[in-house]
Amino acid sequence: MGYGGNDDTLMDLLSSPCSRTTSKGDSFGRYYEGQTPSDRIENLVMDLNGVLVAAPDFDLLMILLGKRWALL
């Protein structure tokens, strides 16, 4: 969750056949509000039947999710 696809090593891992098999439907990609997500992360999230989330700030998103899930 929350990854914008800017690290080639991690993207290669996420794009690997093993990762794609075990991650279907559990993927959320975050991109900066007002910008367009990279084609690579957009395609990966789409292949995994995941969701892209626009957010102004990664830390704020994590805080809001923590509150929503009663972790904070």
Q: Is residue 2 part of a domain?
A: no
Q: Is residue 19 part of a domain?
A: yes
Whether the pLDDT of residue 2 is over 60: the answer is no
Q: Is residue 1 part of a domain?
A: no
Q: Is residue 16 part of a domain?
A: yes
> 40-57 pLDDT, tens per residue?
888 888 888 888 888 888
Note whether 11 and 5 are within 8 A (CB): yes
Distance, in Å, from the CA atom of 58 to the CA atom of 30, rounded to the nearest integer, reads 8
Q: Is residue 3 part of a domain?
A: no
What pLDDT shows up at residue 4? 62
Q: Is residue 62 part of a domain?
A: yes
Number of domains composing the chain: 1
Q: Is residue 46 part of a domain?
A: yes
| Tokens (6 digits) for 19 | 């990762």
Q: Is the pLDDT higher at 41 or at 2?
A: 41
> 7-43 pLDDT, tens per residue?
788 778 777 876 655 556 667 788 888 988 888 888 8
Range of the domain at 47: 8-68
Distance, in Å, from the CA atom of 19 to the CA atom of 66, rounded to the nearest integer, reads 25
**Which helix (H) or strand (E) segment is 52 a member of?**
strand 51-55
Q: Looking up tokens 């975050």, which residue turns up?
A: 30
Distance, in Å, from the CA atom of 7 to the CA atom of 70, rounded to the nearest integer, reads 30
